[in-house]
Amino acid sequence: MGYMPCMESDLDILKPDRQCVENLTAVLQCHPILSALLVNRDIVDHRSAIDFLQPSLGNLRDPHNLCDIAAAVSRICQAIENNEKILVFGDYDVDGVTATCLLTEFLEEVGAMVSYYIPHRLQEGYSLNPGHVQNGTVASDTGLIITVDCGVSSRQAVAAAAEAGIDVIVTDHHAVTEPLPSAVAVVNPNRPDCPSGLGGLSGVGVVFYLIIALRKELRDRQHFASHPEPNLKKRCDLVALGTVADMVPLVGENRVLTSVGLEIINSGVRPGISRLIAVSHIQGGHIDSEDIAYRLAPRLNAAGRLNHASDAVELLRAGDNAAAARLAETLDRLNTRRREIEQDTCRSITDMLTRSPDLADRPAIVLADETWHPGIIGIAAARLARQYHRPVFLISLSGDIGKGSGRGIPGVDIIGCLNACAPVLERYGGHPMAAGITVTNRNIRKFRELFEAAVQKQTARGVPPERLRVDCELRLSQIQPGLMELLARLAPFGKGNPEPFFLARNVAVTHSKTVGRHHTRLTLSQPADTPHKTVNAIYFNTTQVPEKARLVVFALRWNHWRGKKVIQAVIQSMV
């Protein structure tokens, strides 16, 4: 591959308000670069800056702002006190797996009679359905089902449970696209009547808020006179995994929960996560949000994609290193197989688009095939959406039914688009940037037409071209350990809080070497910069670099290797 072209017109070089930067620098008594990075993130006052730089569980909003939280807590306390059997019903992605683990562990610790169940992705599909109640999956003597990261669209299943004398509490965070189920409680910050302001929470984040409220109620009922009171902070490792993996904005509550969770992960207290880190070939003690997103989450997700998500739950719940090691190795093998299937799927799609290039020129890409693995199409759709900068739906066909996975782009709400397609869909749900559908084979053509029209309507004024966001310009001589300390205060990075990118001009490549098959290690310098400094760099997925670059855009990270750490520029683009 060649290096990515990077004209200055392709860059969005941020220009923070100088007065705001000076004010923050004065009140925080910090470096102007830190103030500029904060202003670039719309953090312009002292209180907001302190909350951002010092994330604390004490800053979380009151969970009682969530609709139905009181009813949910009351019913769960009743089930605990009456020794009713409680079933935690989860989803098969990392958010659902961690939510299942979190609630199950909490209920076990407070003495509840609890078990969990996650459906098989291919054999049972998404969320609680009537068959689970009618075919014995849910034991007849179950008193209460609590859904996590699913359930808001399970009206028929909740009705079937009620007929069987089983109460249901729904906890979810997905968009509400139809009337709410008639459950004891529906705790979902994205229901239209919820005033909590917590709509950015992941599924596991909603569960964390539930157990905050539940622990308080149990404390008020003197429950902990006979049981040890759970420490919720130590379970934030699960919340961090699910929050980062579900790609919700890492701001506000999510920033707090992820920051605290990363501390717990790096303390190495949970054997399952420690063994997962080991098989992912990451140096423990330095895990960040990127490691979760690109190393840990894919392995946890591989269980639900290719086998059964219970493998991931049991890994996280493993109490000893031997059991954790076996399960981690299983997930690592599944992830290797997942990558192979993903590569085959992407080649198939590339061939399809090469044969019919007009498909890639439409407002949205909607493709269907009988050979695509339904557990992999979401990853492939995300890759295509980035590559072609338009919404993508890939549909895996099995007989007369297609299961589709879609990914959006900034500026297009694909749930809003799917609302316009509802008459031809059997089922749909998700988020503005990621969604799933069930559609009959005969309706795929009509779905494509309706979806394209809905996307076209949303983008009538055009979708802004993607531009590489640059926080500020740097001289290479400014890249020092002190700057890295400033950047660490802004972490964790992710959606809503992007990793800072910097721009250096007139850079010379004094050394380069291909590593692996597709990456290049470089040494950079600026001949005109004083004092003279060289910086180690890595350019992923590129084997050809210029000897001189007019513009280089890069992130800055520590590279940990054999007990040492050095600053490394991670190049995004150069020309």
* Torsion sign, CA atoms 57, 58, 60, 64: positive
pLDDT at 518: 87
Q: For residue 78, count other CB atoms closer than 10 A to its CB.
A: 14
Mean of the pLDDT values across residues 359-364?
Answer: 91
Structure tokens at 436: 């799933």
Angle at 105 between CA 103 and CA 108, to 5 degrees: 105
For the segment 146-159, the average pLDDT, to the nearest whole number, is 97
**pLDDT, tens digit, 9 for 90 and up, residues 224-263:** 999 999 999 999 999 999 999 999 999 999 999 999 999 9
pTM recorded for the entire structure: 0.93
| Reported confidence tier of residue 6, pLDDT bands at 50, 70, 90 | low
CA dihedral 156, 160, 161, 164 (to 10 degrees): 170
pLDDT tens for 100-114 read 999 999 999 999 999
Position 3 scores a pLDDT of: 36
pLDDT class of 187 with cuts at 50, 70, 90: very high
Residue 328 CA from chain centroid, whole number: 20
Q: Is the pLDDT of residue 512 over 50?
A: yes
| pLDDT exceeds cutoff 50 at 449 | yes
Do the beta carbons of residue 257 and residue 236 sit within 8 Å?
yes
**How high is the pLDDT of residue 562?**
75
Candidate from 124-128, 181-185, 290-294, 561-565 with smallest mean pLDDT: 561-565
Please determine, looking at this structure, whether the domain spanning 63-267 carries the CATH number 3.90.1640.30.
yes
- Can you state the angle between helices 94-109 and 203-220, rounded to 10 degrees? 10
Report the percentage of the chain scoring pLDDT > 70: 98
Q: Are 243 and 215 spatial neighbours (Cβ–Cβ below 8 Å)?
A: no
CATH code of the domain made up of 356-458: 3.10.310.30
- Rounded to 10 degrees, the C-alpha dihedral 432/438/440/441 comes to 70
Q: Where are the beta strands (DSSP E) in 335-415?
A: 365-369, 392-398, 401-407
> Per mean pLDDT, which range of 72-86, 104-118, 134-148, 555-569 is the poorest?
555-569
Contact 525, 534 (CB under 8 A): yes
Q: What is d(CA 315, CA 174) in angstroms, rounded to the nearest whole number?
A: 26
Q: What is the CATH T-level fold of the domain 8-12+468-574, as seen in this structure?
A: OB fold (Dihydrolipoamide Acetyltransferase, E2P) (2.40.50)
Altogether, the residues listed in the chain come to a count of: 575
The β-bridge relationship of strands 113-117 and 548-561 is: unpaired
Q: What is the mean pLDDT of residues 197-201?
A: 97
Residue 7 has pLDDT above 90, yes or no: no
345 vs 389: CA distance, rounded Å? 19
Question: Of residues 574 and 68, which shows the higher confidence score?
Answer: 68
- Assess whether pLDDT exceeds 90 at residue 1: no
Q: Tens digit of pLDDT for each residue in 260-319?
A: 999 999 999 999 999 999 999 998 789 999 999 999 999 999 999 999 999 999 999 999
More confident residue, 157 or 531: 157
Cα(174)–Cα(21) distance, integer angstroms: 37
In this prediction, residue 495 has a pLDDT band, given cuts at 50, 70 and 90, of: very high
Using CA of residue 407, residue 409, residue 415, residue 417, what is the dihedral sign?
negative
The dihedral built from the CA positions of residue 439, 442, 445 and 447, taken in this order, carries a sign that is negative
Domains in the chain: boundaries: 8-12+468-574, 63-267, 356-458
